[in-house]
Structure 1
Amino acid sequence: MKSLPKVELHTHLEGAAPPAFIRGLAQEKGMDISGVFAPDGGYAFKDFWHFLKVYEAATSTLTTPEDYHRLTLAVLEESAAHGVIYTESFMSPDFCGGRDLSAWREYLHAIQEAAAQAEAQMGIILRAVVTCVRHFGPEKARETALCAAETAGDFITGFGMGGDEQSGKQGDFAWAFDCAREAGLRLTTHAGEWGGPQSIRDALDDLRVERIGHGVRAIEDDALVDHLAEREIVLEVCPGSNIALGLYPDWQDHPIERLRERGVKVTISTDDPPFFHTTMTREYDRLADAFGWNEDSFRDFNIVAAHAAFCDTETRARVLKKLEQTDD
């Protein structure tokens, strides 16, 4: 499965940082963040809310555009090693310059330079989905949306929201999403992970998104599942993340297969892979074991993901061509 071409729609740039990279950066800067690491060298957290704190502590080592240039190369190298040919990553001006537009442009320039280098050397394509952080509140989300709107284009192609799903309501962030939509950005938001089915309905009704990050708890509401299938709303499903955080006990109990059988468009992603001890190869291997999926099954998932990607028509055509190539 490792060499199978893959499309990934749901990753967080900082959350994909290899622990060794963050540890090295902290040492360079004389920062003590030892509390974020487990004895085995990985990231250590107890639950989702502790994970958010550890995530932000690890991210605190990333303080310059050059740091993000190096991070982007490290993340894309790891993704490409697992067959990813196109990836969308959530990036936040909150962490890149404190939502100051001029600072955000500098960070973005460094990230784009790294993305261009990775595409030339490894063949992996990166596009960015600017995200506001839900638990930072609606006012900061407005500033994030303005940064996104001012830099929308071929590289910044989407807008979304991550963070603590239990902080406020989806509708509290409608202004930010309207701003991004008016700038031509495509929309997604995290819902249906820690929030139940109603959080997905709220995301669709109040923010008018076309994709849902996670969305797996739709399975608890038959009418909602039918609605997602009819509307062709794409779910950015991250099974390994859901299992690592205790949302489901094991791979066989994960609802991705039941959602797919009901006609919902589902895709496969890693979310924050080193935090959840996963890779795209591991996701595919475990899903194959759990549900008997083969390479043709995964190719179908990737074609769905390519059509749902927030990229231009030319880029999509290039990705689809790679997915449709076979070894025979």
Structure 2
Amino acid sequence: MSLAERPKLELHLHLEGAAPPGLIRDMAREKRVDLSGVFDARGHYHYDDFLGFLRLYEAVVSVLRTPEDFRRLTRAVLAESAANGVIYTEAFLSPDFCGGRDLSAWRDYLAAIRDAADEAERQDGIVMRGIVTCIRHFGPDAARQTARCAAETADDWLTGFGIAGDENAYRPGDFAWAFDCAREAGLRLTAHAGEWGGAQSVREALADLRVARIGHGVHAIEDPALVERLAEDGVTLEVCPGSNVALGVYRDWRRHPIEALRAKGVKVTVSTDDPPFFHTSMRHEYDRLAETFDWDETVFAEVERNAAQAAFCDEATRTALMKRISDGGD
């Protein structure tokens, strides 16, 4: 089976961050929104550093104003993922960007996103689940409101809760109430850590937020005891190598620690994070991993099983995913 044909599972995808530039340009034109500085001469998203990326992200989100906008967005994102062989994706969704954390508005946005996801599953065979995500640099009070939205809409489709944004803003413990609220509602938990905050941020996320997965987590490699703990406890890392290289977390693919972490027994998965911002796709990630670390079919099958086992889905869906992996995606 070729890398392009392999059935891929993605656990770390920001819905707004996966917006195709062409879609955003069309929406901006329709709404007469000025996006000066958002695109480079080739029509790609343009930023200089991580904080610039965050500002750019929020500029892109400003074009997405209605549930119908998010329906169009979801359909476009899932079509692109399916074209890259993705059979299952978990997308980060934020009530901050969908109705300003108002529960009634959030329900309308969520219904539109789910409608598009159902259509994509019927037409493209890709299964989606949602993870509500609070934005770290918006602060703990906003996170509490986001958690309430998540708790009120948790079900077998909206299955997780997490946190993203600037890792240098606040401490994980500042968001403990939000995570406790989500946990009590039956949501599974993940947190961005170890991308910019170092190994200690991973330790704090595990201790203070009690998450099952870590988004990125790559700086854990700097702490051998932490790596051993991740392996022993079966904590799954949602690793996004192309994102890390594009943002300068690591200078190049050869220096990226995904293989070192895997070799030490840590459960790693592969995702694209915000693919058009980083000029990547799941096929591109697979190609670079094979080229850089000589990953073969056995390794990719291991990573795909890791993702299926760590997915925030019900057991029937997990069983179906494992079968599709073993059957080659059919």
Corresponding residue for residue 163 of structure 2: 161
Corresponding residue for residue 264 of structure 1: 266
**Paired amino acid for 1:29:** K
Structure 1 residue 155 displacement after superposition? 1.0
**Paired amino acid for 2:214:** I
Corresponding residue for residue 315 of structure 1: 317
Equivalent residue for 1:141, pick from 140, 143, 147: 143
Equivalent residue for 1:180, pick from 151, 171, 182: 182
**Paired amino acid for 1:187:** L
- Alpha-carbon separation, structure 1, partners of 2:202 and 2:298: 30
- Alpha-carbon separation, structure 1, partners of 2:50 and 2:288: 22
Tell me the alpha carbon deviations over residues 180-212 of structure 1, each in whole angstroms, 9 at most, x when there is no partner: 000000000000000011100000000000100
Equivalent residue for 1:239, pick from 233, 241, 253: 241
- Alpha-carbon separation, structure 1, partners of 2:103 and 2:308: 30
Equivalent residue for 2:50, pick from 48, 51, 57: 48
Corresponding residue for residue 13 of structure 2: 11
**Paired amino acid for 1:242:** N
- Alpha-carbon separation, structure 1, partners of 2:291 and 2:160: 33
| 3-state SS, counterpart of residue 35 of structure 1 | coil
Tell whether 2:101 aligns with 1:109: no
Structure 1 residue 154 displacement after superposition? 1.1
**Paired amino acid for 1:288:** A
Tell whether 2:98 aligns with 1:129: no
Tell me the alpha carbon deviations over residues 251-276 of structure 1, each in whole angstroms, 9 at most, x when there is no partner: 11100000000000000000000000
Corresponding residue for residue 78 of structure 1: 80
Tell me, yes or no, if the aligned pair for 2:13 and 2:271 is still in contact at 8 Å: yes
Tell me the alpha carbon deviations over residues 286-314 of structure 1, each in whole angstroms, 9 at most, x when there is no partner: 00000111223212101110000000001
Corresponding residue for residue 65 of structure 1: 67
Structure 1 residue 325 displacement after superposition? 0.7
- Alpha-carbon separation, structure 1, partners of 2:20 and 2:257: 28
Runs of 4+ in 1 over 4 A off after TM superposition: none
Structure 1 residue 35 displacement after superposition? 1.2
Corresponding residue for residue 21 of structure 1: 23
CA RMSD in angstroms comes to 1.0
Tell whether 2:327 aligns with 1:325: yes
Equivalent residue for 1:306, pick from 283, 290, 308: 308
**Paired amino acid for 1:32:** D
Structure 1 residue 326 displacement after superposition? 4.1
Equivalent residue for 1:275, pick from 253, 274, 277: 277
Structure 1 residue 34 displacement after superposition? 2.4
Corresponding residue for residue 100 of structure 1: 102
Unaligned runs of 5+ in 1: none
**Paired amino acid for 2:14:** H
| 3-state SS, counterpart of residue 56 of structure 1 | helix
Tell whether 2:40 aligns with 1:38: yes
| 3-state SS, counterpart of residue 20 of structure 1 | helix
**Paired amino acid for 1:149:** A
Corresponding residue for residue 189 of structure 1: 191
**Paired amino acid for 2:203:** R
Corresponding residue for residue 292 of structure 1: 294
| 3-state SS, counterpart of residue 4 of structure 2 | coil
- Alpha-carbon separation, structure 1, partners of 2:37 and 2:157: 35
TM-score scaled by length of structure 1: 0.99
Tell me the alpha carbon deviations over residues 127-172 of structure 1, each in whole angstroms, 9 at most, x when there is no partner: 0000000000000000000000000001100000000000010000
Unaligned runs of 5+ in 2: none
| 3-state SS, counterpart of residue 104 of structure 1 | helix
Corresponding residue for residue 200 of structure 2: 198
- Alpha-carbon separation, structure 2, partners of 1:295 and 1:46: 36
| 3-state SS, counterpart of residue 293 of structure 1 | coil
Count of aligned pairs between the two proteins = 328
**Paired amino acid for 1:168:** Y
Equivalent residue for 1:225, pick from 219, 224, 227: 227
**Paired amino acid for 2:163:** M
**Paired amino acid for 1:4:** R
Tell me, yes or no, if the aligned pair for 2:6 and 2:328 is still in contact at 8 Å: no
